[in-house]
Copies of this chain bind each other. A is one copy, B any other.
Amino acid sequence: MLLYESLAAQLREQIAAGVLRAGERLPSIRRLALAHGVSAATAVQACLQLEREGLALARPRSGYFVRAQPPAPLSPVPRRRVPRTVSNPALHEVIDMLSRRDLLPLHAAVPAPELLPGTALAAALARALRRNRTQALDYAPAQGHPPLRRLIAQRYAQLATAVSPDEVVITAGAMEAITLALRSIAAPGDVVLVETPTYHGILQAVAALRLKVVELPHRPGGGLDLARLDAVLQDAPVRAAVLVPNFHNPLGSVASDADKQALLARCARHGTVVIEDDVYGELAWSGQRPAPLRHFDCHGLVITCGSFSKTLAPGLRTGWLLGGEWTDALVRAKYHSTVGSPALPQLALADYLQRHDQERHLRRLRRALADNARRLRAGIERHWPQATRCSDPSGGLSLWLQLPPGGDGTALFEAALAEGIGISPGQLFSSRGDYRDHLRLSCGLPWDEHLERALRRLGQLAAAQVA
């Protein structure tokens, strides 16, 4: 192949791959020559070749542009192989779904944007840019912006839970908080206890760190099964337990204060560190916020993970750790994970929290979620097969459903996806492929006709399975 042909082929490939789009300028002759190590004459020849093929268009004194409607490439374009190899078949789709705007997002355990204070947050972000531009664009401390850390400690003080701002570490949401905590505490091969079912992000983080996992089921009536916990802790050393004590995802259950204390007493006896994911704690529909495990932690064995994702804005990716005596190790782990969280969201959140009555916003949000859940449950009763079972939570963002015999949550997930409806298949919430007949629905969406239609359609799809 002549030099100019090889260069033309590369440009052709970039156009076919969408790297260069219709209307965009090709690199200048000088640039092409320099970057590809060819003469200017060769670069010109390559561009002329593309012009002959109808892919590029010369504009006087501006250079070459990609044609508005390029014809199909003459030969198949070689592409870099990017295979998809995912163990849990639904996982890849679930990761992709998180930001798809063409789905009815019953899969996303997050409040709909209209339930969140977007206007006030956008104003706080704009204010931070105007007032502290340099700080907003520069590195923030690895541990996080001190005023935000203090405001988080203050919120715990309101819950009668003593937290020092010195032990608050800002993270990219609770997901990074859990990952950092596990990385700082457990070594590959260590045993980690999780609930079953549980949030798939926890299962993935545990698997990625090559930790061994023991799954603890809840009692039939809800709450931790302390007898099973005893058996597990006595059986082998358990380095850490990753638990969602308040409005569990997906079960929706809350551990009682007595259960929380009993749990901590047992973990203290066996030297098991407790990583608590408390992202739903603020979402008690009654307004009675259940205490975090940290509230009862007299042995210093709890690391609490929290987030603004479920109450203010998921896209700001701002959460936190209460690190206790692991704070320093957690800050170092944060450093070589992401150096530090972006400065701008931290400045804006501190500003927002100081200006606005958080309690008033939460009151409205909780009421809306309770209302959504009530209507969802009623819709399921109306439209789904009669023997469908549905959780009856008192807070959080999840309804956990079990289909009647014959029902298949993963098949329902695929069928729903094909019709533009997102749900979370039950299998996601197990490391062993359990809960195939379960699924999770989000109660973050305000009720409307569109949602009602989708719920009815889901009911029809489920009915077809179990018929």
Contact flags A86-106 to B (C-beta < 8 A → 1, else 0):
100001100110110100000
Copies in the complex: 2
Q: Give the contact stretch, choosing among A201-209, A241-249, A424-432, A455-463.
A: A201-209
Interchain CB contact under 8 A, A336 and B82: no
A315 and B138 contacting across the interface, CB-CB below 8 Å: yes
Q: Contacting chain B: which of A121-129, A232-240, A262-270, A394-402?
A: A121-129
Decide: A325 and B158 in contact? CB cutoff 8 A. Answer: no
Q: Are A341 and B328 in contact (CB under 8 A)?
A: no
Closest residue of chain B to A354 (Cβ to Cβ) is B24
A179 within 8 A of B: yes
Say whether B14 contacts A80, CB under 8 Å.
no
With A13-B162, A165-B17 already in contact, the answer to whether A133 and B118 are too (CB < 8 A) is: yes
- Docked-complex contact A31 and B158, CB < 8 angstroms: yes
Residue A360 lies at the interface, judged by CB distance under 8 Å to chain B? no
Main secondary structure of the interface of A (DSSP, over half): helix
A residues 108-128 near B (Cβ < 8 Å) are 108, 110, 113, 116, 118-119, 121-122, 125-126
Q: A69 at interface (Cβ–Cβ under 8 A)?
A: no
Q: Residue A324 at the B interface, CB < 8 A?
A: yes
The yes or no answer to A148 lying at the interface (CB within 8 A) is no
A113 to B332, CA, bound (A): 25
Cβ–Cβ < 8 Å partners of A14 in chain B? 154, 157, 162
In the complex, whether A283 has a CB less than 8 A from a CB of chain B is no
A110 to B110, CA, bound (A): 37
Any B CB within 8 A of the CB of A27: yes
Contact of A175 among B158, B329, B336 (CB under 8 A): B336
Residues of B within 8 A of A85 (CB): 328-329
Task: Tell me if A176 is interfacial: C-beta within 8 Å of chain B.
Answer: yes
Query: Can you name the residue of chain B whose Cβ is closest to the Cβ of A318?
Result: B342
Nearest B residue (CB) for A98? B139
A–B Cβ pairs within 8 angstroms, 20 of them: A19-B153, A19-B165, A20-B157, A27-B157, A82-B324, A96-B141, A98-B139, A98-B340, A99-B142, A101-B135, A122-B130, A126-B126, A138-B314, A172-B339, A173-B338, A179-B337, A188-B210, A316-B344, A317-B340, A344-B344
